[in-house]
């Protein structure tokens, strides 16, 4: 795999570190020094690339730039509580569970769950998204508020299907496996499809980065693997989406835009 990185000259050292890290993940990173990376430059260079500038490490494409900025989540975290967050009830975060987030995305849900008490293993298979998560975690560790709990998040570079199978083979159990498939099936009802089309900038870039036709992205296999190792599996879905893998959940928590489907281990 190859990727280009645009960077301003003062970030030469950070580029070299990033180049070395991605080589370890089997990605060839080519660099191009740019005098000033601004909105005009991004519009004139619409191809996907990594960017190193005063905002840190970002992914850019189609004139947009995004990063999984955990520091920007602080206001939301400060408002959150075990009672106010539906995800906290679904995942029983008050019991401080061991939790595998098998569909990492930008890591915002994992950050919230760690803040509310969970020990989270955050699994991501795409090398570009993984280094973005590594970068934002390193930035979070420098923040006085985030550093008190971000250590409860462990990043794992792996295919979640393989990772969950390995846990099962080793007879390892966790309290919760959390799934938030990025690409819900296309045969859900029209209302959900319409909402899906109105994705935010960050999700638009993730859709460009990640394959849309893989089974892993739909999450069907993940549910079966997860149920073998977890006391409960919690699946985040658009409110009107069909059940993941057509499996009826044991319980649901319904919100305005999304819901949480829970599958409990059989005693």
The whole-angstrom separation of Cα 248 and Cα 223 is: 12
- Give the separation between CA 112 and CA 118, rounded to whole angstroms: 9
By residue range, what is the domain housing residue 38?
Answer: 1-64
Same domain membership, residue 49 and residue 145: no
Q: Number of structural domains, the chain?
A: 2
Same domain for 160 and 32: no
Note whether residue 267 is domain-resident: no
Residues 135 and 206 in one domain: yes
Question: Could you tell me the pTM of the whole model?
Answer: 0.88
Binding residues, as ranges, are 124-125, 180
For residues 28 and 149, give the distance between their C-alpha atoms in angstroms, rounded to a whole number: 33
Rounded to whole angstroms, the Cα distance separating 226 from 240 reads 23
Same domain, residue pair 107 and 122: yes
- Taking the C-alpha atoms of residue 154 and residue 98, their distance in angstroms, rounded to an integer, is 11
What distance in Å separates the CA atoms of residue 160 and residue 29, rounded to the nearest whole number?
25
pLDDT value for 213: 43
Q: Residue 215 sits in a domain of what CATH number?
A: 3.40.50.150
Q: Which residues participate in the annotated binding site for S-adenosyl-L-methionine? A: 124-125, 180
170 and 52 in one domain? Answer: no
Mean pLDDT for all residues in the chain: 89
| Same domain for 40 and 110 | no
Q: What are phi and psi of 179, to 5 degrees?
A: -125, 130
pLDDT given at position 147? 96
Residue 224 lies in a domain: yes
Q: CA-CA distance, 132 to 45, in Å (whole number)? A: 20
Distance (Å, whole) CA 222 – CA 216: 7
236 neighbors 222 (Cβ within 8 angstroms): no
The pLDDT profile of the chain, 267 residues, written as one tens digit per residue, is 999 999 999 999 999 999 999 999 999 999 999 999 999 999 999 999 999 999 999 999 999 999 999 999 999 999 999 999 999 999 999 999 999 999 988 999 999 999 999 999 999 999 999 999 999 999 999 999 999 999 999 999 999 999 999 999 999 999 999 999 865 444 444 444 444 443 466 677 777 777 644 433 456 789 999 999 999 999 999 998 999 989 999 999 999 989 999 999 986
Read off the pLDDT of residues 23-73 as tens digits, 9 standing for 90 and up: 999 999 999 999 999 999 999 999 999 999 999 999 999 999 999 999 999
């Amino acid at each position: 795999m190859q990727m280009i990185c645009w960077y301003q000259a003062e970030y030469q050292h950070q580029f070299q570190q990033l180049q070395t890290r991605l080589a370890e993940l089997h990605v060839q990173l080519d660099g191009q020094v740019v005098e000033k990376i601004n909105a005009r430059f991004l519009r004139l260079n619409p191809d996907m690339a990594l960017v190193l500038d005063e905002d840190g490490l970002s992914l850019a494409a189609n004139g947009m730039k995004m990063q999984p900025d955990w520091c920007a989540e602080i206001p939301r975290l400060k408002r959150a509580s075990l009672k106010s967050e539906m995800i906290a009830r679904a995942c029983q975060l008050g019991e401080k569970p061991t939790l595998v987030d098998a569909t990492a995305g930008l890591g915002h849900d994992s950050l919230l769950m760690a803040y509310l008490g969970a020990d989270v293993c955050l699994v991501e298979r795409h090398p570009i998204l993984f280094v973005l998560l590594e970068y934002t975690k390193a930035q979070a560790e420098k923040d006085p508020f985030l550093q008190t709990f971000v250590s409860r998040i462990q990043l794992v570079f792996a295919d979640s299907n393989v990772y969950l199978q390995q846990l099962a083979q080793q007879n390892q159990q966790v309290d919760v496996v959390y799934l938030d498939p990025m690409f819900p099936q296309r045969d859900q009802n029209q209302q959900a499809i319409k909402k899906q089309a109105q994705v935010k900038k960050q999700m638009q870039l993730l859709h460009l980065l990640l394959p849309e036709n893989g089974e892993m992205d739909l999450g069907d296999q993940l549910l079966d693997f997860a149920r073998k190792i977890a006391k409960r599996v919690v699946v985040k879905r658009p409110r009107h989406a069909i059940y993941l893998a057509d499996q009826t959940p044991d319980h649901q928590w319904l919100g305005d835009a999304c819901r949480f489907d829970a599958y409990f281990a059989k005693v």
